[in-house]
Every structure is written in structure tokens, then in C-alpha cells.
Amino acid sequence: MKFQIAIDGPSGAGKSTVAKALAARLGIVYVDTGALYRTVGYYVRSRGVDPHNAQEVEALLPQIRLELRYENGVQQVYLNGEAMGDRIRTPEMSMYASAVSAIPAVRNFLLDTQRSIAKANSVVMDGRDIGTVILPNADVKIYLTASDECRAMRRYEELKAKGIDTDYESVLADMLERDRNDSNRAVAPAVAAPDAIVFDNSGMQPDECIAGLMTVISKLIRV
């Protein structure tokens, strides 16, 4: 029996850390959908196109071939045959991803990639619209969130650990701007599905959050 676990929520809520750990414990595939939007953003940037210009972005889509591959259990996105790696993880790519993700043609373009992987495998999929749009019949829907300060501090620590030069204040400001863009857009806004379980992990260590979610999941599906 295949099953689907959808994890949505704002940036810095710890979705990827938690989703990755849950997938490993359950022995199923982890899908990071944000990486797909980041890769489209990366391509748009490489072509010098304004990510807010829907028409020009849409015109680039036929040039993009995306593939998700799993290498030693880690998701890797390939853009026209080339592995993206950490190039899509910069603050600039976060902004490009958020801008292109508001364009309906981009969302449509990425729909099949996301649905087909969930059709072929049991998945833990994280994103913004997994429980609302991509997998509306998911067996478990979780909306993971935390306070603004907590999320910004985590993002700041993560960027610092990667050697990306930034400061807490600008990480917080960028994050709030991205949250605004993502939750106010017309298509697939980042909101909790009505049947999602809202889980606030402010002040929790990852292990505590993962254990709490395992309890939630094991009540809903036989794992």
C-alpha cells in the first residue's frame, strides 16, 4: 500500500529537516518541491529575465527539462542534464523561486513531476500547496509552523553554516517578504489545508518535533 504525507508551511519552519527524517524512518521517498521552483528561478536568472514578468518566464518553460534523481538517498534536481547542487540554496534564489512560483504557468509546469513521483512511490512531500493542490487526498497533512523570530534564526544559522555572508535582520526581512508573496498570491497560496494538522515547533529541537509528528502519523496510518 502506498501512502502520502504532505508537509506544508512557511519558510524556516524546519519542513525539510523534519520531512527528510520522517522519510528515512518510514523508508519512503522524500520530495522537496521547493527545489523545483528554485531551479526554475535559477534558469530564469541565468537568462537575465525578470522573475515577475509572467509572459517572459512562461516563454522560457519549454527550454527547461527537470528531473528528480535520488543519489545515496538524497534528492538531486537536474536542469537540462546538469545537477543543481547548492547553487539553488542562496538567498537570491529563494527570492527568484518565490517570484516565479506566483506564475500559474510555472505551477502548472511542475504539477506532473510532483504528482507522478507520488503516484509511483510512498512519499513525504514538502512545500506550500501539497495538501491543498498537489496531493489533496494525502493520507496525512501537516502544516508545520513556528514564530517569525524562531524561523528567521534557523534560516540565519543554516546560511551561516553554509558560509553565506548575511545578518539576522536581513534574513528576517527577506523571510517576511517571501511569506507575504507566498501566502497572498492568487494561485495556490501557501495556506493550511482545512484538514491539515497544524503543528507549531517554536522552541523545539528537531528530534522533539520529529517524535511528535511520528506520533501524529502513526495514529493516522499504519507505519
Footprint of ligand DC (CB under 6 A): 11, 33-34, 37-38, 94, 97-98, 101, 127-130, 178, 182
Q: How far is the CB of 183 from ligand DC (least distance, A)?
A: 10
Q: Which is nearer to ligand DC, 162 or 218 (CB)?
A: 162
- Residue 181 is inside which H or E element, if any? helix 168-184
Q: Which is nearer to ligand DC, 90 or 223 (CB)?
A: 90
Q: Which is nearer to ligand DC, 8 or 122 (CB)?
A: 8
Phi, psi angles (nearest 5°) of residue 82: -115, 130
Contact 214, 161 (CB under 8 A): no
- DSSP calls for 14-58: SHHHHHHHHHHHHT-EEEETHHHHHHHHHHHHHTT--TT-HHHHH
Q: Which is nearer to ligand DC, 128 or 141 (CB)?
A: 128
Amino acid sitting at position 94: S
Q: How far is the CB of 59 from ligand DC (least distance, A)?
A: 20
Three-class SS of residue 174? Answer: helix
Q: How far is the CB of 17 from ligand DC (least distance, A)?
A: 12
Q: How far is the CB of 34 from ligand DC (least distance, A)?
A: 2
